[in-house]
């Protein structure tokens, strides 16, 4: 009886895949759950496994583009379970009888030890709107022993970074490579056995007892030897590097993406381009000096999502920006007078962000449309103020949210800013800490920005941009004085916020900052 092997569903948005390579050939004996082929989509690479033991009959060819559910192969009844003994039989014919008997003895003991206790580690659901993640890095390497609940990898989505943990103790086998984009539910790794120490000892003891079979096993090439992964193959093709000249460091000698990048660096192409101009155009050679290299990096999921959203906001909103300036002298005087007592009492420093957040929440009470949003054909107003703060993290810009900022004191706001900024720098922000938000504040002044037009953080309708503080001459009561001044920029969606509301909102923020007593009195 034969069993059809079909292309499995690999993601909601993926309708077809490409059969990149057959790992097992037509007529080969395969075991249950053994990898038989590699499928490649526009987002990731997947392994196709045998759903029962038997003889493989391939139907699709390498390079074919197949729809989800298409039949790729069939497995006929016929001794898939005997595949492993047939391999040992070949080893027995090429080696003396005594070593062959020694090699056969540990084999049955090793298979039950790992078989039946292998646990697949899959990409877990991390949010309703997230359908795929990127495997940013492995914390544990292939073949290492892991403990239960130990972090083995980092997964990165377009919103946050998550740790993938081991669901049991044992030996780790990695199935995905760093940088791969994986749909939710994809098998990333497997954990076999109850520990790696004993199997490793047996594996080392077998070659020492029978050096002849071990030597033969090391010379036997697997299907992966010298074969680049799809990502590595593309890099090698772009650089014109022959895969045969690259040694693979992956499982079974497979050429990984890192191997391909290293091969690119070691390529003698720069030397050729330097020698050709010297020979063909000697006069032009002195014009180009020093090394002229390029470096390519794959965009992270976070960076790709930020790029898409910023372009969407520019295209889908009627965004305008209004400017004003604020005299920071009163706030700076309060900080210099009370900062020591404030820190002694509350354990945090008194910064500018708490004053701006408090001023924004007060201004939103007078002009609620600035904190509203459009949903379909309706305008949604909020009677609370969840203020998002833009934070520059190592992997890109993130916008955590200060919940109920209108009900927090200056000290509570400062503590929340420090907590969220710290988690952002450590890539430990959760999705719930970045979801929602009714208004955003971004401070480009910390990087020296004098003026900018910040882009709205969709689906919000407005964003306030802070800038650097510069001492400038200003007229006060008919006198020219030097004051620390800051430009403020309010970008807003003109579909929901009129010019009168946007300008009045910004003027209100300016008044509250130049007279901080109003923040305490609520006037």
Ramachandran bin of 87, using left for φ above 0, alpha for ψ from -120 to 50, beta for the remaining angles:
alpha
Q: CB atoms < 10 A from the CB of 492, how many?
A: 28
Count of residues making up the chain:
523
Structure tokens at 440: 């955003």
- Asked if omega into 361 is within 30° of 0 (cis), the reply is no
User: Quick check: 465 and 452 in contact, CB under 8 A?
Assistant: yes
Structure tokens at 405: 């900022």
Q: What is the pLDDT of residue 264?
A: 53
How would you class 103 by CB atoms within 10 Å of its CB: exposed for 0-12, middle for 13-18, buried for 19 or more?
buried
Structure tokens at 504: 């009045």
CA-closest candidate to residue 327, choices 482, 491, 501: 482
Please state the separation of Cα 35 from the chain's center in Å.
Answer: 27
Q: Is 498 a catalytic residue?
A: yes
Cross-strand bridge partners of residue 488: 324
Tens digits of pLDDT across the chain (523 residues)? 778 888 888 765 677 888 888 898 888 898 888 889 888 876 567 788 888 888 999 999 888 888 888 888 998 886 544 444 444 444 444 444 444 344 344 444 444 444 447 888 888 887 656 778 888 888 888 888 888 888 898 888 766 777 888 888 889 989 988 888 888 888 889 988 764 444 444 444 444 444 444 334 444 555 556 777 766 777 777 777 777 777 777 666 777 777 777 775 544 444 444 444 444 555 555 666 778 888 888 877 777 777 888 888 888 889 999 999 999 999 999 999 998 999 999 999 998 999 999 999 999 999 999 999 998 889 999 999 999 999 887 777 789 999 999 999 999 999 999 999 888 888 888 888 888 899 999 998 888 889 999 999 888 999 999 999 999 999 999 999 999 999 999 999 999 999 999 999 999 999 999 998 888 776 6
Please tell me what DSSP assigns to residue 62: T
Q: What is the pLDDT of residue 284?
A: 59
Q: Is 87 a catalytic residue?
A: no
CA-closest candidate to residue 423, choices 306, 431, 126, 408: 431
How would you class 29 by CB atoms within 10 Å of its CB: exposed for 0-12, middle for 13-18, buried for 19 or more?
buried
Cα dist from 247 to 37, 253, 259, whole Å = 22, 7, 7
Q: Which one from 26, 77, 89, 494 is the annotated catalytic residue?
A: 494
Find tokens 């995905």 and name the residue.
176
Three-state DSSP at 433 gives: helix
Structure tokens at 339: 């900062």
How would you class 301 by CB atoms within 10 Å of its CB: exposed for 0-12, middle for 13-18, buried for 19 or more?
buried
Q: How far apart are CA 183 and CA 130, in angstroms?
A: 9
In SS3 terms, 106-126 reads as HHHHHHHHHCCCCEEEECCCC
Q: CB atoms < 10 A from the CB of 400, how many?
A: 24
**CATH classification of 302-521 is 3.30.559.10, yes or no?**
yes
Q: How far apart are CA 501 and CA 392, in angstroms?
A: 30
Structure tokens at 98: 């005594």
Cross-strand bridge partners of residue 56: 75
User: Quick check: 394 and 428 in contact, CB under 8 A?
Assistant: no
Q: How far apart are CA 248 and CA 168, in angstroms?
A: 30
Q: What pairing do the DSSP bridges indicate for beta strands 132-138 and 151-156?
A: antiparallel
Q: What angle do CA 484, 488, 492 make, to 5 degrees?
A: 175
In SS3 terms, 297-352 reads as CCCCHHHHHHHHHHHHHHHHCCEEEEEEEEECHHHHHHHHHHHHHHHHHHCCCCCH
CA-closest candidate to residue 443, choices 499, 500, 397: 397
Q: Which CATH architecture has domain 1-94?
A: Beta Barrel (2.40)
DSSP 176-231: S-TT-EEETT-EEEEEESS-SHHHHHHHHHHHHH-HHHHHHHHHS--TTTTPBPHH
User: Quick check: 483 and 513 in contact, CB under 8 A?
Assistant: no
From-to residues of CATH 2.40.50.100 in the chain: 1-94
Q: How far apart are CA 355 and CA 65, in angstroms?
A: 58
CA-closest candidate to residue 121, choices 160, 150, 158, 159: 150
Q: How far apart are CA 256 and CA 189, in angstroms?
A: 16
Q: How far apart are CA 513 and CA 328, in angstroms?
A: 7
From-to residues of CATH 3.30.559.10 in the chain: 302-521
Structure tokens at 277: 């101009």
Q: What is the pLDDT of residue 252?
A: 64
Please tell me what DSSP assigns to residue 102: H
Q: Which one from 28, 77, 498, 515 is the annotated catalytic residue?
A: 498
Phi and psi torsions of 146, nearest 5°: -125, 155
Cross-strand bridge partners of residue 323: 489
């Amino acid at each position: 009886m034969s069993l059809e092997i079909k292309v499995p569903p690999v993601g909601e948005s993926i309708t077809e895949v490409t059969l990149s390579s057959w790992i097992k050939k037509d007529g080969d004996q395969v075991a249950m759950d053994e990898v038989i082929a590699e499928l490649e989509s526009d987002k990731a690479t997947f392994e196709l496994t045998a759903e029962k033991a038997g003889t493989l009959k391939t139907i699709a060819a390498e390079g074919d583009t197949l729809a989800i559910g298409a039949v790729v192969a069939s497995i006929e009844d016929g001794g898939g379970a005997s595949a492993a003994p047939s391999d040992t039989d070949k080893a027995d014919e090429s080696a003396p009888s005594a070593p062959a008997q020694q090699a056969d003895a540990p084999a049955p003991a090793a298979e039950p030890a790992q078989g039946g206790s292998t646990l697949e580690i899959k990409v877990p659901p991390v949010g309703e709107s997230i359908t795929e993640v990127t495997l940013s890095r492995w914390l544990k390497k292939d073949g290492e022993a892991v403990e239960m609940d130990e972090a083995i990898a980092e997964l990165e989505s377009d919103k946050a970074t998550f740790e993938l943990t081991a669901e049991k103790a044992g030996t780790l086998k990695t199935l995905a490579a760093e940088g791969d984009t994986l749909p939710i539910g994809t098998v990333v790794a497997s954990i076999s056995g109850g520990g790696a120490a004993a199997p490793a000892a047996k594996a080392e003891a077998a070659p020492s007892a029978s050096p002849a079979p071990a030597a033969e096993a090391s010379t036997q090439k697997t299907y992966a030897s010298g074969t680049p992964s799809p990502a590595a193959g593309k890099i090698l093709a772009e650089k014109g590097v022959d895969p045969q000249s690259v040694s693979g460091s992956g499982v079974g000698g497979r050429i990984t993406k890192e191997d391909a990048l290293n091969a690119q660096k070691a390529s003698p192409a720069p030397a050729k381009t330097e020698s050709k101009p010297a020979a063909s155009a000697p006069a032009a050679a002195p014009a180009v000096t020093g090394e002229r290299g390029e470096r390519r990096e794959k965009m992270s999921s976070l960076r790709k999502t930020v790029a898409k959203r910023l372009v969407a906001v520019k295209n889908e909103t009627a965004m305008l920006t209004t400017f004003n300036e604020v005299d920071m002298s009163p706030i700076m005087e309060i900080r210099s007078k009370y900062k020591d007592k404030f820190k002694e009492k509350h354990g945090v420093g008194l910064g500018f962000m708490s004053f701006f957040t408090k001023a924004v929440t007060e201004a939103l009470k007078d002009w609620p449309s600035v904190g509203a949003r459009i949903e379909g054909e309706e305008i949604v107003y909020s009677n609370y103020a969840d203020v998002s703060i833009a934070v520059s993290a190592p992997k890109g810009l993130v916008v955590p949210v200060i919940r109920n900022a209108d009900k927090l004191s200056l000290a509570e706001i400062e503590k929340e800013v420090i907590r969220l900024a710290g988690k952002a720098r450590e890539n430990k922000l959760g999705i719930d800490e970045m979801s929602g938000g009714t208004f955003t504040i971004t401070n480009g002044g910390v990087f020296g920005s004098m003026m900018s037009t910040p882009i709205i953080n969709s689906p919000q309708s407005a964003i306030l941009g802070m800038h650097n503080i510069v001492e400038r001459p200003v007229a006060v009561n008919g006198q020219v004085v030097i004051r620390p001044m800051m430009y403020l920029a309010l970008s807003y969606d003109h579909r929901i916020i009129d010019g009168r509301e946007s300008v009045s909102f910004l003027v209100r923020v300016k008044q509250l900052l130049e007279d901080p007593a109003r923040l305490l009195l609520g006037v």
